[in-house]
Amino acid sequence: MKTRFLGKGGLQVSELGFGCMGLSFGYGPGLAAPEAISLMRSAHEEGITFFDTAEAYVGNEQLVGEALGPIRDQVVIATKFGWKDGSAKTGELDSSPDRIRFVAEQSLRRLKTDRIDLFYQHRVDPAVPIEDVAGTVRDLIAEGKVGHFGLSEASAKTLRRANAVQPVAALQSEYSLFTRDVEAEILPTLEELGIGFVPFSPLGKGFLGGKIDANTDFGEGDIRKTLPRFQGEAREANQRLVAAIQSLADRKSITPAQVALGWLLDQKPWIVPIPGTTKLHRLQENAGAAHVELTSAERGEIGDVLASIPVQGERYTEQMMKLLDR
């Protein structure tokens, strides 16, 4: 698999990463440890060198540390701080300098490593000046505990303020054919500042894979059970977008997921999507998107589809939307 650079500091990663969250958090019960570890090692065999986790994904960092320990020098590990007591379920944030340092030490221990390659603020904390956050991570970088600084779901204004204190290597925010909020202001700002972009949920939390329909039942512990665009009429309306992507995929003899990931990779050379999965065949399918090439006509066709089929429903609940940095 080819590689791409995130930011100006030389952080080189595979052009597709692996989002590890769903292995233990967010989409139901996840996988047993042996299966999760095996899947991450299979991802590396597919050429993936960029693995994304977080303090808030309960048990996830331990799995990542166990899986990647034997190949630590061949991979890039990203993790995140920013939730009070490490739990995203409360909706309370804490990016105080002391908390950032505490999370760094705990993450290093759980990951069984001496460095965090990319350390993200998981959500912008309005109670802590972003300059203080950036300064704390800058100090951790100077101490050799962290390699690069990242933000997640940050506004253009916040990006500029943070980058002035400590260069930001990457912004991680949601971006896909299903969620395109970042196109108006965020992407131009990233390009101007030389910051890489890491789209999470690049397959629309599975929707763009074409396997979710009106009869799909999201079980307990699956965040999609409460998200507006996965409910009732919105879910039904959004099937039109998936059907249009399926039509293009069929003509190219690839899958809808590969169209969606290929489209993201085609947007900018500094975009690195991080699809996640719990299934080996999906991992291999996603990795295959690195070989997808879109013609100018196909790009235009996708643009026409996006213009004519607006996505219905918010991507988060009202409470979750309030935590975004606008």
H-type helices in 13-96, by residue range? 33-45, 60-68
Site of tokens 């949601």: 174
Q: What is the DSSP letter of 204?
A: T
The pair of three-digit structure tokens given for residue 37, joined into one six-digit string: 């570890």
Q: For residue 52, give the nearest of 140, 165, 173 by alpha carbon.
A: 173
Contact (CB, 8 A) for 263 and 248: no
CA distance 134 to 153: 15
Q: What is d(CA 111, CA 20) in angstroms, rounded to the nearest whole number?
A: 13
**Tokens (6 digits) for 250:** 């069929």
CA angle 108, 109, 114 (to 5 degrees): 45
Residue 57 bears catalytic tag: yes
**What is the SS3 assignment for 32?**
coil
Contact 161, 140 (CB under 8 A): no
Pairing of strands 3-6, 76-81: unpaired
Single-letter residue type at 160: R
Strands 168-174 and 11-14, by their bridges, are: unpaired
Distance, in Å, from the CA atom of 20 to the CA atom of 30, rounded to the nearest integer, reads 10
Confirm if 76 and 50 have CB atoms less than 8 A apart.
yes
Which residue in 285, 284, 289, 288 sits closest to 264, CA to CA?
Answer: 289
The answer to whether residues 225 and 273 touch, using CB atoms and an 8 Å cutoff, is no
Beta carbons of 274 and 265 less than 8 angstroms apart: no
- 57, 120, 175, 316: which is the annotated catalytic residue? 57
Q: Which residues are catalytic?
A: 57
